[in-house]
Amino acid sequence: MKLIKVAAAVLNQTPLAWDSNRDNIVTAIRQAQEMGVSILCLPELCVTGYGCEDAFHAPYVAEMAADVLTEIVPETEGMIVSVGLPVLQQGGLFNAAGLLVDGALKGLVGKQKLAGDGLHYEPRWFKPWPNDALTSIDIAGTSVPLGDLIFDCGGVRIGFEICEDAWVLDRPGGELAKQGVDVLLNPSASHFAFGKHFIRRRLVVDGSRAFHASYVYANLVGNEAGRAIYDGDAMIASCGQLLVTGSRFSYEPVRLTTATIDVETTRMSRIRSTSFPVDVAIGADRVVRAAFTFPAQVPSVRVASPPSWEDSDSLKEEEFTRAIALGLFDYMRKSRSHGFVVSLSGGADSAAVATLAARMVTFGVQELGRERFCERLSYIPELRTCTTDAAIVERLLTCVYQATRNSSETTRTAARDVALGVGARFLELDVDPMVADYTATIESAIGRQLRWETDDIALQNIQARVRGPSVWYLANLAGALLLATSNRSEAAVGYATMDGDTCGGLSPIAGIDKAFLRQWLRWCEQEGPREVGPFTALHKVNVQAPTAELRPTAASQTDEKDLMPYEVLDWIERAAIRDKQKPADIYQRAVIEFPHYDRQDMATWIRRFFGLWCRNQWKRERYAPSFHVDDENLDPKTWCRFPILSGGYQRELRALPQ
């Protein structure tokens, strides 16, 4: 046996936060040293942060990263550590991982496969490293090799697959395995999406099996740069067996997952495999040799056991709750905001936002304890006096119900129940006099009375817009972040009032569809997250039909009467925007998918969707930043680009039944 203790470290980094990023890296190294770890894998681009965007184009960023690396190198005595950073070479910028061995940088490996889909835009900043290319680079005060390298450390061969490298057909691990690599390190920055953990797990486990090696995978955790949330996946596998997986969505800035691997076992597996090819002609210049003595290890058996909530039948609901709650925590903390303000209408969307903001405190205190949770928000001095979780929520979350003459007692009561149920500070404002003043002013200016029969949209929108200044005022007074409450279904068709319900510096649910959001609210009411339980105050929200409540009560306004059934809207959105299907094909599928709806209605709804989609691209361009939780986002800045002005699908829509 040749036993080696390895570890994957997940880090909560911030773009260009040089000192705190370095401190997290050093903390991880020191924790690993205390645990007897010999090989430590850190996440991709952990020195700079992954989400630096066009700041990567500034040459000083790579230079500063090299300077920070020199501060990290001495910390690695007695260890082997991978550290991710950008490097400049011959006019090209490369996404690289450096291997530090016993207090010295031994070489850097360039990422070969760049992520350029979805919210990833790596080809804009980086060049892909050519397969088999080798050169040298002056960095961290010394000249070291840069390229498609294998590191032989004390007789143990180590290679890299950097994030996307493992997601492609011709992954580098195959070639590395032929050349005898014992341990593959995968430093990653893989954003959260529903169910993605299980895809990563297959890549890690199948890689370890196919390559007859041990595989160490380390991801980022938290809201690093604003839109993407990282779940902090950490996995270690060997010869097709998952040895250990770390807990996800941690509020800790640094978290290690460790396992003991047996190099002789993986080598024997490779020898026994009659179909495994071996490349004996590897060039000597591709192997970087470093003296290293691995300390003796005691055999240990680790069984991969996920946190209890990961075996839930409601995994999507659990992931959504924990992802958004952690995203809110980091967004608030990194923007130095002193809490949140939510305009609480008594409906589903704002109730969901308020509930998620409160769960941020629940999960954070459960993991860190009240004292450490408040320490992580030490820039908010008032938290020092909070002796209960409820006091923390009340300090961090303000909910405001703003009534007009068209508001009902039903929504007022629902809003109050939700706010008080989560422990938020609750305020009620009567904004009807302001609506009346605006209406009277405009009527005087244009010389006629405004009527619902002729001025419906304007009369609806002024009520929503009047609510904006009040909540912005409250947010400014508290130094807090105003949370917008629009969802993705509304964004698709522009069913939102600009400068009304879209007001906010962050739109936490704009990446999720209304149908799932309603399902999630019912789950929260009846079951709720593991170790938290149900939130019964949502009952009065869940029994209502979603409504903007902007027309007179006699109109019986509902969202679905204005638009179409949400299940149909969300289905059309996926078919049209995600799958890029034309209207006639969507209609043919829709009448089969929804046989209980009238065919003429379906044709009308498809026309309505495409018409509203095209007319409202300008609104989507103006939405506050939103979180990515699946691969169907409509954010035009990072995911779904569409022209503000277009032909409106007029020819395509003529093919629908008239």
Q: Do 443 and 572 belong to one domain?
A: no
Q: Do 336 and 207 belong to one domain?
A: no
Helices marked H in 9-107 — which ranges?
A: 18-34, 59-72
Q: Do 508 and 572 belong to one domain?
A: no
What CATH number corresponds to the domain at position 650? 1.10.10
Q: Which residues contact 55 (CB under 8 A, 6 or more apart)?
A: 15, 16, 61
Q: Which of 537, 561, 585 is the last residue of a domain?
A: 561
pLDDT score, position 274: 76
Does residue 306 surpass a pLDDT of 70? Answer: no
Q: Which residues contact 634 (CB under 8 A, 6 or more apart)?
A: 488, 491, 492, 510, 511, 577, 620, 640
pLDDT per residue over 584-599, tens digit each? 999 999 999 999 999 9
pLDDT score, position 383: 95
pLDDT per residue over 409-457, tens digit each? 999 999 999 999 999 999 999 999 999 999 999 999 999 999 999 999 9
pLDDT per residue over 193-209, tens digit each? 999 999 999 999 999 99
pLDDT per residue over 126-169, tens digit each? 999 998 889 999 987 789 999 999 999 999 999 999 999 999 99
Q: Do 445 and 515 belong to one domain?
A: yes
Positive/negative CA dihedral, 488, 489, 494, 499: negative
What CATH number corresponds to the domain at position 340? 3.40.50.620
Q: Provide the residue count of the chain.
A: 658
pLDDT per residue over 32-69, tens digit each? 999 999 999 999 999 999 999 999 999 999 999 999 99
**Tokens representing residue 38 in the block:** 């010999």
Q: Do 35 and 102 belong to one domain?
A: yes
Q: Which of 561, 577, 604 is the last residue of a domain?
A: 561
Q: Do 528 and 570 belong to one domain?
A: no
Q: Which of 306, 340, 371 is the last residue of a domain?
A: 306
Tokens 């010394």 locate to 142
27-36, 266-275, 411-420: segment of lowest average pLDDT: 266-275
Q: What total number of domains does the chain contain? A: 3
Measured from the Cβ of residue 636, the count of other Cβ atoms closer than 10 Å reads: 18
Q: Do 504 and 457 belong to one domain?
A: yes
Q: Do 153 and 285 belong to one domain?
A: yes
Q: How confident is the model over 102-124, as a mean pLDDT?
A: 94
Q: Do 444 and 336 belong to one domain?
A: yes
Q: Do 453 and 316 belong to one domain?
A: yes
φ/ψ of residue 244, rounded to 5: -160, 150
**Tokens representing residue 534 in the block:** 């149900």
Find which of 25-34, 294-303, 451-460, 637-646 is predicted with most confidence, using mean pLDDT.
25-34
Q: Which residues span the domain enclosing 151?
A: 3-306
Q: Do 457 and 574 belong to one domain?
A: no
Q: Do 280 and 327 belong to one domain?
A: no
What CATH number corresponds to the domain at position 197? 3.60.110.10
Q: How far apart, in whole angstroms, are the C-alpha atoms of residue 119 and residue 231?
A: 16
